[in-house]
Amino acid sequence: MIHNKDMIPEQPAPKGTIGPIGWLRGNLFNGPINSLFTLLGLYVLYLLLVPTIQWAFINADWIGDSREDCSRVGACWVFVNARFSQFIYGLYPSEEYWRANIVFAMFAGIIAWMVIPRLPFKRWMTVFALLGFPVAAYVLLHGGYFDLPRVPTHRWGGLMLTLLLASVGMIGALPIGIVLALGRRSNMPIVRTFCVIFIEFWRGVPLITILFMASVMLPLFLPSEINIDRLIRALIGLTLFQSAYMAEVIRGGLQAIPKGQDEAAAALGMTYWKRMGLIIMPQALKMMIPGIVNTFISLFKDTTLVMIIGLFDLLGIVQAALSDSRWLGFSIEGYVFAAFVFWIFCFSMSRYSQYLERKLNTGHKQ
Amino acid sequence: MFNKKHLVLLASAGSITLAGMSTAQADTLEDTMERGAVQCGVSDGLPGFSAPDDDGNWQGIDVDVCRAVAAAVLGDSEAVNYISLNAVERFTALQSGEVDVLSRNTTWTTTRDTTLGLNFTGVTFYDGQGFMVPSDLGITSVDELDGASICIQSGTTTELNLADYFRANDMEFNPIVFDTSEQTVGGYQAGRCDVLTSDTSQLAALRIQLSDPSTSMILSDVISKEPLGPVVRQGDDTWFNIVKWSLFAMLNAEELGINSDNVDEMLESENPNIARLLGQDGNYGEGMNLEADWAYNIISQVGNYGQSFDRNVGMGSPLEIERGINKLWTEGGLQYAPPIR
């Protein structure tokens, strides 16, 4: 009998199955067909990436202040550089940029406060964000109070305007959407009919039509003494349009809550608002995070449509800059910059929503 | 896609109903004085005509009209609120009082002048449809374009004008239609067509976007009339006169050799025409409720017509458009202003 008294010592896993090589073998080269596709993919990537990198970085011109500083072989980032403050603030007077900067800082501060879990007083921060901040932002940006010179809204623009439109749209659309969704599920016939008509009307009309109505037709119907600011008109149109979509997202979430929850709460003697506020909504809103963020992201991108009513949002100001005769022909650089900024914002929103989902996950996830 | 044509019709219909009301509107001059700024409708970006520069100031030949009006009325050419308008909403914005002068490369046509409740105050730029050809083809006139393939931007009157002209002259052409001006230039550059057609003011801007602009030239012939000018509401004749004569003052200044550099020396000029224009002999602003130095303010702050043309679209700008028919009448062009007397 052959008998080995010693245990065979632990051995590392075979070289080919661990580390980067193992990963490559397991995932990219596990068979002739997959290997072929991997190589093909790498080749396509090479074909796409090399010219892009050459254009965007290696051959690009970064320093200068006019079109003569660009060789036109690669990207001319000089253009974006020269117009950068305009892309951020629009046509806002440059000596008043500090006002916009304070608003930007407050905005970033509020978001950071809400996102970082360790910081206290979340509830007060929410109240400030919803009530105090809009007033402060308006006073600062518009001026006319405390000796601040007035800056009319037609000078607002760029990323500032995009963020303004998006945040007002989001903050406005969510509560209106919740009310509409509850109204649509209500037993009261008048409330229900009103909500159905409202939602179906706004959902049935393209946003571009609403903006056109607001900017072209509305001034004709109103008496000539009343002149509503075009930014306000756009904001109202955008908010109502998005609230109809939001209502349907929320209604979807509400329908996913079993009826028993509501009945059990009612059996405990809770009023309608308590049932909704304490039992139904907390469960439903959690489930609706992907849908709500989806709507927010699409709202953020929809804000570019205000360009057609002559407001210079980020994309609008890029296009206006492209029509300056000193900078003709740099449209690719301008659009790439705008796309990059939009991507950063949309991607951050999407990451935050994933984090929120994980944080609020109470074990119902399958 | 929304249907632009219907919106225009709808908006026009609305404007017509409003046109009747506009006569009751308040005194534009008084409102402007009170506000301290001229409400000026410009485009949302058109090279050489109206576009913001690196510092966010609006520049362009259309913009200079508004600056001239502001200089005449308020004595400060910077006292202008620029409101950018797209092609559809421009007339509504004027009718509803959102803007008081519309200076947005608007072609003066019968329909617009007579049915929309508007008045055109003059012509800032005589535009027309022209052609860009590669220099090495050796073409010098439109008549040599028989059988050519021509790049056009769709949905514009350019397409119709082209067909009309070629049919009338019994010539053939092969249209290659693109959606946007960038695509049109791309098509031309890639050799999809021999010739590119558009309004001459646009051709210059398109030419710059070519990778080597010197390989193409713009023919001097034009095949359509596109007089572009500022527009005001009907029913306020004082305001109409102010805008009209602000432009005439710039034209007269060029004719009399006055520009922003020499205007102060010209104040002492013996020439009675110059003395009248600059308010040294009589007050010709009185009839418009303006100060006697209204034209002096325009010339010193904005310059004469030639300066504005040169700075924004002419040889002093990247567009390098020839004066052509926009020369003064004394030099064989069409720009002619009634005398200040």
Whole-number average pLDDT of chain A = 85
B339 falls within a domain: no
> In chain B, which residues have their Cβ closer than 8 Å to the Cβ of A220?
11, 14-15, 17-18, 92, 95-96
Q: Are A313 and A307 in contact, with CB atoms under 8 Å apart?
A: yes
* Total tally of structural domains belonging to chain B: 2
According to DSSP, residue B54 is labeled: T
d(CA B88, CA B103): 14
Average pLDDT, stretch B6-32?
55
**Confidence band, pLDDT 50/70/90 cuts, at residue A365:** low
pLDDT in tens, A263-313: 999 999 999 889 888 988 888 888 888 888 888 888 888 888 888 788 888
**pLDDT over 80 (residue B18):** no
Residues 6 or more apart whose Cβ sits within 8 Å of residue A230: A153, A154, A214, A215, A309, A310, A311, B98
- Mutant choice from B53, B80, B216, B310 vs A, greatest count of A C-beta within 10 A: B53
Q: Which two tokens stand for residue B63?
A: 């913009």
Please choose, from the candidates B69, B96, B95, the residue with its C-alpha nearest in 3D space to the C-alpha of residue B81: B69
Q: What is the extent of the structural domain holding B156?
A: 129-218
Instruction: Check whether residue B198 and residue B239 sit in a common domain.
Output: no
pLDDT of amino acid B155: 61
A309 at interface of B, judged by CB pairs closer than 8 A: yes
Whether pTM > 0.90 for this model: the answer is: no
Please choose, from the candidates A133, A208, A122, the residue with its C-alpha nearest in 3D space to the C-alpha of residue A164: A133
Instruction: Check whether residue B288 and residue B168 sit in a common domain.
Output: no
Task: Please identify, among B188, B218, B248, the residue that sits at the C-terminal boundary of a domain.
Answer: B218
Q: Which two tokens stand for residue A252?
A: 């979807």
Instruction: Check whether residue B134 and residue B166 sit in a common domain.
Output: yes
d(CA B282, CA B148): 59
Instruction: Check whether residue B83 and residue B133 sit in a common domain.
Output: no
B338 falls within a domain: no
d(CA A122, CA B16): 55
pLDDT of amino acid B250: 94
Instruction: Check whether residue B189 and residue B265 sit in a common domain.
Output: no
User: Could you say which of A92, A316, A328 has the minimum Cβ distance to residue B205?
Assistant: A328
Q: Report H helices in B23-134.
A: 28-35, 61-74, 90-95, 110-115
Instruction: Check whether residue B119 and residue B243 sit in a common domain.
Output: yes
Angle between helices B237-255 and B294-301 (to 10 degrees): 60
Pairwise CB contact (< 8 Å): A320 & B52? yes
Give A 210-239 residues with CB within 8 A of chain B: 212, 215-217, 219-220, 222, 224, 227, 230
**Confidence band, pLDDT 50/70/90 cuts, at residue A31:** confident
Instruction: Check whether residue B83 and residue B151 sit in a common domain.
Output: no
pLDDT in tens, A311-320: 888 988 888 8
Instruction: Check whether residue B100 and residue B173 sit in a common domain.
Output: no
Distance between A121 CA and the closest CA of chain B, angstroms: 41
Instruction: Check whether residue B19 and residue B159 sit in a common domain.
Output: no
Chain A, chain B: beta-carbon pairs less than 8 Å apart = 120
pLDDT of amino acid B14: 45
pLDDT of amino acid B27: 86
Please choose, from the candidates B199, B152, B146, the residue with its C-alpha nearest in 3D space to the C-alpha of residue B169: B146
Please choose, from the candidates B284, B7, B146, B303, the residue with its C-alpha nearest in 3D space to the C-alpha of residue A212: B7
Task: Please identify, among B218, B242, B269, the residue that sits at the C-terminal boundary of a domain.
Answer: B218
Which residue would you say has higher pLDDT here, B9 or A170? A170
B277 falls within a domain: yes
Give A 182-211 residues with CB within 8 A of chain B: 206, 208-209
Q: Are B123 and B227 in contact, with CB atoms under 8 Å apart?
A: yes
Any idea which residue has 């949302």 for tokens? B44
B299 falls within a domain: yes
Any idea which residue has 């602009």 for tokens? B213
B327 falls within a domain: yes
pLDDT in tens, B180-203: 777 888 889 888 888 999 888 888
**pLDDT over 80 (residue A342):** yes
With a pLDDT cut of 90, the percent of chain A lying above it is 16
**pLDDT over 50 (residue B148):** yes
With a pLDDT cut of 70, the percent of chain B lying above it is 92
**What is the H or E stretch that residue B51 is in?**
strand B51-52
B115 falls within a domain: yes
Highest-scoring range by mean pLDDT, A77-81, A215-219, A242-246, B6-10? A242-246
Pairwise CB contact (< 8 Å): A328 & B85? no
> In chain A, which residues have their Cβ closer than 8 Å to the Cβ of B99?
none
Beta bridge partner(s), residue B52: B58
Q: Are B223 and B161 in contact, with CB atoms under 8 Å apart?
A: yes
B17 falls within a domain: yes
**Confidence band, pLDDT 50/70/90 cuts, at residue B208:** confident
Task: Please identify, among B178, B199, B218, the residue that sits at the C-terminal boundary of a domain.
Answer: B218
Instruction: Check whether residue B197 and residue B263 sit in a common domain.
Output: no
Distance between A195 CA and the closest CA of chain B, angstroms: 27
ipTM of the complex: 0.79
Which residue would you say has higher pLDDT here, B254 or A29? B254
Please choose, from the candidates A207, A234, A365, the residue with its C-alpha nearest in 3D space to the C-alpha of residue A298: A207
Please choose, from the candidates B122, B96, B97, the residue with its C-alpha nearest in 3D space to the C-alpha of residue B108: B122
Q: Which two tokens stand for residue B222?
A: 């034009």
Beta bridge partner(s), residue A18: none
B341 falls within a domain: no
**pLDDT over 50 (residue B5):** no
Burial string for B293-311 (b: 16+ CB within 10 Å, else e) reads bbbbbbbbbbbbbbbbbbb
Residues 6 or more apart whose Cβ sits within 8 Å of residue A100: A88, A89, A92, A140, A141, A160
* Chain B residue at shortest CA distance from A208: B2
CATH of the domain at B158: 3.40.190.10
Q: Are B243 and B145 in contact, with CB atoms under 8 Å apart?
A: no
Neighbours of B273 (CB within 10 A): 16
**Confidence band, pLDDT 50/70/90 cuts, at residue B101:** very high
Angle between helices A289-302 and A230-255 (to 10 degrees): 160
**What is the H or E stretch that residue B42 is in?**
strand B38-42
> In chain A, which residues have their Cβ closer than 8 Å to the Cβ of B88?
212, 216
Instruction: Check whether residue B55 and residue B190 sit in a common domain.
Output: no
pLDDT in tens, A109-163: 888 887 777 777 777 878 888 788 888 888 888 877 777 788 888 888 889 999 9
Instruction: Check whether residue B122 and residue B140 sit in a common domain.
Output: no
